[in-house]
């Protein structure tokens, strides 16, 4: 059987790659893709802890499904925002979208 | 044997995730993202969460990736491969991400997990459905309301205004 730590290390790596993408990308769609990677890393952790913990209760898988639901809602609203911003300002570069900067 | 499958799957996932965040063309990033989602679905199958693997393929690959590709195609200047991929703080962010990974690695390898390797019950999917309409019925309903709100909100935000 594969040790639990392996799954957690892979999830940690995926989370850090997603974090880098979310913070370093210039394009807003790229930022969203980084956030999706981070949410997927969390899901791997949830399912791994379910498999190696209380397998009879389905709490781990249940919360993974809730995370997927929230990710779907976030992607829909986020991409709608990106399209609306693009229509108004002709750019999806997060550095140029700074009208709320103090 | 299982270990080898796991290593291949995690290398595919991490490699394509790295390509997602570093690829010059955003469209290629989206295609690498699909491969990363497939790798994660494979990891779910290794963890005996077959239902979640199917949900992953349906929602992430079938819906969210398609949505992302649509958004890339609708915003024209996202398609060009010229210009900078990263903002000027990318060096700091890279250092911070690597630092976070090292901290997590040190933590994860040191903790002794109380692992119980029981077999997965054969009626796992039935139990999952039972939990959704039993003890977790309120979060389930809230999630459905959230989806409706997100759908209406997305339509209103993206609507063409005169």
| pLDDT at residue B78 is higher than 60 | no
Q: Do A14 and B160 make contact, defined as CB atoms within 8 angstroms?
A: no
Average per-residue pLDDT for chain A: 90
Contact B53, B42 (CB under 8 A): yes
Which chain A residues are closer than 8 Å to B29 by Cβ?
30, 33
d(CA B57, CA B59): 6
Look at residue A33 in the predicted model and tell me its pLDDT: 94
| pLDDT at residue A97 is higher than 90 | no
Of B27, B56, B83, the last residue of a domain is: B83
Look at residue A88 in the predicted model and tell me its pLDDT: 86
**Alpha-carbon torsion, ordered B25, B27, B32, B37, to 10 deg:** 140
Domain that residue B160 falls in: 124-162
| pLDDT at residue B147 is higher than 80 | yes
Mutate to test the interface with B, among A67, A71, A80, A96 (most CBs of B within 10 A): A80
Domain spanning A4-89: CATH 1.10.287.3510: yes
Which residue(s) pair with B54 in the sheet?
A: none
Query: Within a domain: residue B7?
Result: yes
Pick the more confident residue, B83 or B21.
B21
Of B83, B109, B138, the last residue of a domain is: B83
Length of chain A: 102
Total tally of structural domains belonging to chain B: 2
Look at residue A47 in the predicted model and tell me its pLDDT: 94
Query: Within a domain: residue B108?
Result: no
Pick the more confident residue, B81 or A92.
A92
How many A/B residue pairs have CB atoms within 8 Å?
232
- List, for residues B32-74, the tens digit of each pLDDT value: 999 999 999 999 999 999 999 999 999 999 999 999 998 888 8
Look at residue A13 in the predicted model and tell me its pLDDT: 96
Pick the more confident residue, A12 or B76.
A12
Which chain B residues are closer than 8 Å to A27 by Cβ?
26, 78, 85
Contact A68, B59 (CB under 8 A): yes
> HSE-up of A79 (CA within 13 Å, CB side)?
22
Query: Within a domain: residue B150?
Result: yes
Query: Within a domain: residue B88?
Result: no
- CATH number of the structural domain spanning residue B76: 1.20.120.1200
- A8 pLDDT band, cuts 50/70/90, is very high
The model scores a pTM over 0.90: yes
Handedness of CA B81, B87, B92, B97 (dihedral sign): negative
| pLDDT at residue B77 is higher than 70 | no
- B16 pLDDT band, cuts 50/70/90, is very high
Query: Within a domain: residue B57?
Result: yes
> Same domain, yes or no, for B137 and B65?
no
Q: Do A51 and B18 make contact, defined as CB atoms within 8 angstroms?
A: no
Closest CA to B157 of A28, A76, A96: A76
| pLDDT at residue B148 is higher than 60 | yes
Instruction: Show me where the domains of chain A are located.
Output: 4-89
Handedness of CA B46, B48, B51, B52 (dihedral sign): negative
> Same domain, yes or no, for B8 and B59?
yes
Pick the more confident residue, A90 or A21.
A21
- List, for residues A24-46, the tens digit of each pLDDT value: 998 889 999 999 999 999 999 99
d(CA A13, CA B97): 9
Most confidently modeled range among B84-93, B107-116, B140-149: B140-149
Contact B101, A16 (CB under 8 A): yes
| pLDDT at residue A54 is higher than 90 | no
**Closest alpha carbon within chain B to A75:** B64
Of B59, B83, B107, the last residue of a domain is: B83
Which residue(s) pair with B75 in the sheet?
A: none
Which chain B residues are closer than 8 Å to A18 by Cβ?
17, 21
> HSE-up of A64 (CA within 13 Å, CB side)?
30
Which chain A residues are closer than 8 Å to B139 by Cβ?
66
- List, for residues B151-161, the tens digit of each pLDDT value: 999 999 988 77
> Same domain, yes or no, for B130 and B55?
no
- B162 pLDDT band, cuts 50/70/90, is low
């Amino acid at each position: 059987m594969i040790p639990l730590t392996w799954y957690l290390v892979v999830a940690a790596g995926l989370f850090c790659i997603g974090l880098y993408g979310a913070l370093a990308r210039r394009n807003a769609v790229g930022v969203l893709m980084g956030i999706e990677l981070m949410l997927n890393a969390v899901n791997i952790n949830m399912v791994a802890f379910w498999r190696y913990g209380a397998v009879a209760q389905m709490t781990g898988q249940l919360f993974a499904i809730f995370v997927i639901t929230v990710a779907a809602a976030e992607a829909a609203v986020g991409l709608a925002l990106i399209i609306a911003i693009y229509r108004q300002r002709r750019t999806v570069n997060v550095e140029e979208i700074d009208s709320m900067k103090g | 044997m299982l270990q080898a499958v796991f290593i291949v799957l995690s290398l595919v996932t991490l490699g394509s995730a790295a390509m997602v965040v570093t690829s010059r063309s955003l469209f290629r990033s989206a295609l690498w993202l699909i491969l990363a989602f497939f790798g994660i679905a494979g990891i779910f199958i290794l963890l005996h969460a077959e239902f979640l693997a199917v949900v992953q393929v349906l929602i992430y690959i079938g819906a969210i990736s398609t949505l992302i590709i649509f958004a890339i195609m609708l915003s024209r200047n996202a398609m060009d491969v010229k210009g900078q991929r990263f903002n000027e703080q990318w060096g700091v962010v890279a250092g911070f991400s690597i630092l976070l990974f090292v901290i997590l690695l040190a933590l994860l390898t040191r903790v002794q997990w109380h692992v119980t390797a029981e077999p997965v019950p054969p009626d796992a999917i039935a139990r999952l459905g039972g939990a959704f309409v039993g003890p977790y019925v309120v979060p389930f309903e809230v999630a459905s309301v959230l989806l409706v709100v997100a759908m209406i909100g997305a339509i209103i935000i993206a609507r063409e205004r005169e």
